[in-house]
Amino acid sequence: MTKIEHIGVVGAGTMGAALAQKFATEGLQVILVDQVPSAVEKALTNIKNMLEEGIERNVFTKERVATIQSNIQGSHQLIELMNCNLIVEAIFENLEAKKELFKSLSTIVQKDCIIASNTSSFSISDLSTSVLYPERFIGMHFFYHAAKNRLVEIIPGMKTSVQTLETTKLFASIIGKDAIECKDKFGFAVNRFFVPWLNEAVRILEEGIANTATIDNVCKTTFGIGMGPFALMNATGIPIAYHSEKTLEVFGKAYEVAPLLKTQAESGKNWTINDELIESNDQETKSIIKDRMLAIVFLISSQILDEEVCTATHLNRGAKIGLRWKKGPVELMLSYGFDEVVRLISSLTNKYNLPMPVRIGGEFLKMESVTLNTNKDFAVITIDQPENLNALSETTVDELYEKFCLAENNPQITTIFITGSGKAFVAGADIKFFVRNIKQHTIEEIETFTRFTQNVFDHIDHSTKKVIMIINGLALGGGLELALCADQLFALPTAQFAFPETGIGIYPALGGTQRCAKKIGKGLSKYLIHTGKMLSSTEALEIGLADQIISKEQAIGILAGNQPVPAIHKKELKQHWKDIQQFFEKYPLAEIQNKSIEEATLTNEELTKIIKSISYKAPIAIRIADRLIEEAKGCDSELNYLSEIFSTSDALAGLTSIGQKIKYTGK
C-alpha cells in the first residue's frame, strides 16, 4: 500500500488553499500549484492569515504555525509534482479543463501516484479516461471549509483498484476526515440532494411565493441550520450552485436549473436578503415552503437509496457533518413518518411524472451506529456515529451488545477489537436522553438504561474472548467506562481520557468508580473522578490507564491484520503521580473540600489547582462518587443512587449547561 507523505494540490482557489492548509497541518509535505502565480501567492497569504488567527484564538502556537507553513511550497509549474504520492485536483468545475489537467499530470507523476479529483458533480469514471493509469484515479470530494469540515466523499471509478480505494480511505482517516464511500453517480451523495434543495429555494422565489429572507428563515427552522439556502449560496458562490445543478440535469426534469438561478449566477451578484419576513401568522406560505423543501430532499434521498449510491447511515452523516444539518435526510424521514413522506414525495412524482421510489421507509432507513467486521480469527467492532461523537444512546448500546455477541459466538474468533470512528472513541452517554427523562419525571427510564448498559459492559468485561480497546480519540465518561472493560487498552497519540460527570451534576455509573480503582487504585481514581482531569494519551499511559500508545498507521495495520498486536510493558509510576495518589488516599474528601490539609508532598500550585477544581463540582455527585470508590462494593452499587442524583436540581442544571461554569447549590 502506497505510503502518502508528499501531496500535490492543483488549484489555488478557496478549496485548494484549504486543502493545502489541512494536509500541511497533519504534518505532510504539500506543493500547491496554480498556473497563475498571483493565485498561489494569494492562497499562501490567506493560509498565513488563517493560521495567525488560530494563534490569536489559542488554537495554534507560533511554533506550530511556523512548522505548518514550512510544510507548504507554492509553484505555478506542474512539473514540481513529479515526486508526489497523491495529487488532489481542486480547479473550477469545468469538465474539459479537468480532463486536460489530468492528461498533463499523467505524463509527469510516478506510476504509483494516486490522482484524486475534488469534483463535486462530474463522473469519476469519465474523468479517469484522461489518465494513463485509471486504476490509480479516484474521487475525493471535500466540503467547505476543507481545513475544518471533517466530511469527505470517496468515489471509486469503474477502473479504480481496490488498493487505491483502501489507500485513499486510510489517508482520509490519517488526516482526520470522516469518509463516506459513494457510487460514481453525478452529484454523489450530498450534492445530489443539497444542490437541488438550493435550486428549489430559487424556484419558490421565482414563483413569487415568498422572498429570500422568508425562505431562508423557514429552512433554518425546518432543517435546524444556521444559514438558509440564499445565504449559503452567497457564502459559497452562486455560480457553483448553478454549474452543479446543470450537471445534475441528466437525472430529469425535477433537476432542471431554475431560470432565475442561471440569471443570478451570470449576473455576478449575490442574492439580496433583507429582513422583510412574512407575517408570523401566514402559516399557509410557511407550510408551502416547508413542504416543498422537504419534498425535494425526501424524493432525491430516496432515489439515492434506490440506486445504492451510499448507505442510509452515510447519507444521513453527509448532511450532519458536511452540511451541519441538525438532522440528516434519513432522520427527517423517520421523524415525519412514512405516510407524510409519501405525501410529500408524491407531490413531486405527480408533478414531474416520476415513478415512486421504493426505498422510502422501514428497513431501508435503518442506520447502523455500530459495525462489525471479521478477519480470520479476530473481529473489529467500531462505534460508528462520528456525527454524534459516538455517544452512547439506547440504540448504540443495543447494537454494541448485538455485534459483540455475534463476534463472541463465532468459534473462529479469538480476539475482539473495539474502537471508534472520527475524533471520538465514545464521548460519553447521550445527554439529551438524560435531560428528556429528568424533565418528563421518568427517571426510571434512566435507571433501566443504566442497568442494561452495565450488563452489556459486564458481559464484555468477563468475555472468554480477548478484548482489546483501541482508543482513537475522546474517551469521556461512559466511553472511558467502556474502555476499562478491556483486557488490553491501546491509545492513539490523539486520545484523551476523562470522567467529566461530577462537573455536570452526576457521577460515573457504568462501572467507572469500580473498574478504574481496580486498574489504577483508589487514590488516582478519586483524582480523575473528583477533578474531571482530562488526560492525554501520554498521561494515561503514565498512570496505567492505557497499556500502550500506538500510531494511527499502526492501529489501522493491526485492525487490518497486517501488523501484530504490540507487547505490553508495565511502567513504574512516576513520583508526581505517586504524590497525587498518596494525597487522595490520605485525605478524605471532606478535608480536601474544607482545605484541612496539614501537610502534603504536592506543590502548592498543584494542591491549589486540585482544591479549586473540586470546589466547582456538584457536591452531591462528588460525595456519592467518593463513597462508591471507597466502599468498592462492585459495579451494581452504582445503581443505588441513580434516582437520588437525577432528582437533584444540580443534575438538571449541569446536564443542560455543558461547557458553561455553574455554581452548584447541592440540591
Question: Which entry of 118, 173, 191, 437 is annotated as an active-site residue?
Answer: 191
Average pLDDT of span 227-231? 96
Q: Lay out the sheet containing 370-375: strands in order across.
A: 370-375, 378-383, 415-420, 466-471, 488-491, 548-549
CA distances from residue 309 to 142, 253, 270, 356 in whole angstroms, order as listed: 17, 20, 33, 17
Mean pLDDT of the chain: 94
Q: Which residue has the higher pLDDT, 536 or 58?
A: 536
Average pLDDT of span 69-83? 96
CA distance 640 to 69: 55
Average pLDDT of span 328-356? 97
Tens digits of residue pLDDT in 336-346: 999 999 999 99
CA distance 654 to 435: 10
Question: Which entry of 153, 245, 399, 501 is annotated as an active-site residue?
Answer: 153
Residue 120 known to be catalytic? yes
Average pLDDT of span 309-316? 96
- Predicted local confidence at residue 277, as pLDDT: 58
Tens digits of residue pLDDT in 505-526: 999 999 999 999 999 999 999 9
Domains of the chain: 6-181 (3.40.50.720), 190-364 (1.10.1040.50), 370-655 (3.90.226.10)
CA distance 222 to 150: 24
- Predicted local confidence at residue 620, as pLDDT: 97
Tens digits of residue pLDDT in 560-587: 888 899 988 888 899 999 999 999 999 9
- Predicted local confidence at residue 544, as pLDDT: 96
- Predicted local confidence at residue 597, as pLDDT: 80
Band (128; pLDDT cuts 50, 70, 90): very high
Average pLDDT of span 279-295? 87
* For the chain, the helix, strand and coil percentages under 3-state DSSP, each to the nearest 5: 55, 10, 35
> With b meaning 16 or more CB within 10 Å and e meaning fewer, what string describes 190-212?
bbbbbbbbbbbbbbbbeeeebbb
Band (281; pLDDT cuts 50, 70, 90): low
Average pLDDT of span 380-391? 95
Q: Which residue has the higher pLDDT, 283 or 330?
A: 330
- Predicted local confidence at residue 1, as pLDDT: 56
Residue 141 known to be catalytic? yes
Average pLDDT of span 588-599? 85
Q: What single string gives the DSSP state of each residue in 6-60?
A: EEEEE--SHHHHHHHHHHHHTT-EEEEE-SSHHHHHHHHHHHHHHHHHHHHTTSS
Cβ 238 vs Cβ 198: under 8 Å: no
Q: Is 663's pLDDT higher than 60?
A: yes
Across the strands, what pairs with 203? none
Average pLDDT of span 627-637? 97
Tell me 569's DSSP state: -
Q: Is 373's pLDDT higher than 60?
A: yes
Band (278; pLDDT cuts 50, 70, 90): low
- Predicted local confidence at residue 276, as pLDDT: 63
Question: Which entry of 89, 123, 141, 437 is annotated as an active-site residue?
Answer: 141
Tell me 392's DSSP state: B
CA distance 667 to 201: 50
Q: Which residue has the higher pLDDT, 557 or 274?
A: 557
Q: Is 600's pLDDT higher than 80?
A: no
Question: Which entry of 117, 118, 120, 437 is annotated as an active-site residue?
Answer: 120
Q: Is 659's pLDDT higher than 90?
A: no
Residue 76 known to be catalytic? no
Tell me 429's DSSP state: B
Band (361; pLDDT cuts 50, 70, 90): confident
Scan for cell 479516484, then name that residue. Answer: 138
- Predicted local confidence at residue 31, as pLDDT: 97
